[in-house]
Amino acid sequence: MRQSIDLPFGHVLILDSIAELCPDDRGQIVVSGSHGGLSAADYARSNPPRMVFFNDAGVGKKNAGIVALAALERTGVIAAAVGHTTACIGDAMDTWRNGRLSHLNTLAQRAGFRCGDTIPEAIERSQTLPVYRLCRLDDNGNRFVMLRHLSYLQADSERIRFEALGHKQSYWIEVETDLSQAQHEQ
């Protein structure tokens, strides 16, 4: 299932499986019904959201149910997991409605998330964080916004990725100053 919930500051993607992420989901807020294991981190790294929520799946041996949180932190993604006793694994809408945060990466802690929060509470509190966009100047002097709604680490990671392609365009990072306009342009 793939749904979108509109909130005053933008929308939240609701995905029963993190495997449903696609390139258009980069920089978005994603609530997943998936466990937070290593395979989930691989899916999320391929199209990194701004923030993502998983199910801790009981955490498991060697923290297998939440290893995605640390892995995604290295990519600049705010990541958290809800307790498996608060939401059904594989049911993202239940995760959104009933899940309570049980584990947070450092970026989630810096965003103001707290264990015990519902996902809507955590997202609302995080809206005071700056949001960035990656811009490009092409060979003809035209300015383009490449990606929006990124953490600074994500924007910088994307800048490095584009520069490594060898094109002669210039790339830079800007703070999103008018979020309402940016959301209407999506």
Separation of alpha carbons 80 and 119, rounded Å:
9
Backbone angles phi, psi at 92, to 5 degrees: -65, -35
**Closest residue by Cα to residue 53 from 155, 121, 149:** 121
CA distances from 90 to 33, 84, 116, 159 (A): 4, 10, 20, 33
Joined tokens for residue 162: 């584009």
Task: Give pLDDT, residue 110.
Answer: 87
- Give 70-115 pLDDT, tens digit per residue: 999 988 899 999 999 999 999 999 999 999 999 999 999 988 899 9
Separation of alpha carbons 151 and 75, rounded Å:
10
User: pTM value?
Assistant: 0.75
- Give 132-181 pLDDT, tens digit per residue: 899 999 888 899 998 887 778 778 888 888 898 887 789 999 998 654 44
CA distances from 11 to 14, 149, 184 (A): 10, 11, 11
122/182: higher pLDDT? 122
Task: Give pLDDT, residue 185.
Answer: 42
Separation of alpha carbons 149 and 130, rounded Å:
9
Q: Yes or no: say if 111 and 131 are a contact pair by the CB < 8 Å rule.
A: no
List strands edge to edge, sheet with 170-175: 143-150, 132-137, 170-175
